[in-house]
Amino acid sequence: MSETVFALVGAYGPWVIFASAFLSCLALPIPTSLMMLTGGAFVATGDLDPWGVVAGAYAGAVIGDQTGYLIGRTGGVAILSRLARAPARAAVLERAQKLVDRRGGLGVFFSTWLVAPLGPWVNFIAGATRLGWARFTLWDVLGETIWVSVYVGLGYGFASQVATVAEVLGDAVGLVVALVVAAAMALWIRAVLRAQAAKEKAPARAR
């Protein structure tokens, strides 16, 4: 995988980084984070222009997020129900829905970098639930600024250890996503228990 990414970035530079960022924001399984790390490494060696790498990654990410939001806004419930036919996607969509419901714009912000695997689904959900476009765009632009800066910057700073950095960051992001899911489950269980307790008290009051 790493060798293929290095070859692609070396051959096509910012254009392939742009394409990977755009497509990954539409839920395609593309190693965009590794692409950005590699782009940063090529910047460090003087093989790529830093502004081109940053602009390619940033433009691809923001345009991809906007496209996902537009798809959700125009297709709405029909698209989400079609995506949710697969159990794995249904579970991810449910987590994305809870993130948007609880955090709104902040949910969009965190989904672009802190819990990036949920990002594409949050875009769809934000559009389908009619989260305001200006609000979505503001938080999306801020979040993608962090995502691009961190990964390109780390690639620049650790040019000789890109594969190791990518693995460490992947594990860290996976841990954060797992913690978010666990917290969401805990909140859901607490809500269910409270609702059940309220139902049990209601007949006693009626008597």
pLDDT tens per residue across all 207 residues of the chain: 667 887 888 899 999 999 999 999 998 888 888 888 888 888 888 889 999 999 999 999 999 999 999 998 887 667 667 766 777 667 776 776 676 766 667 888 888 887 777 888 888 888 887 888 998 999 999 999 999 998 898 888 876 665 554 454 444 444 444 444 445 444 444 555 566 666 666 555 554
Domain boundaries, the chain: 2-206
pTM across the whole model = 0.71
CB-based contact 43:49 (threshold 8 Å):
yes
Q: What's the pLDDT at 125? A: 83
DSSP 8-state secondary structure symbol assigned to residue 161: G
CB-based contact 9:35 (threshold 8 Å):
yes
Q: What's the pLDDT at 201? A: 66
Q: What's the pLDDT at 105? A: 77
Helix (H, G, I), strand (E, B) or coil at 158: coil
| Closest CA relative to residue 140, chosen from 72, 68, 39, 76 | 68
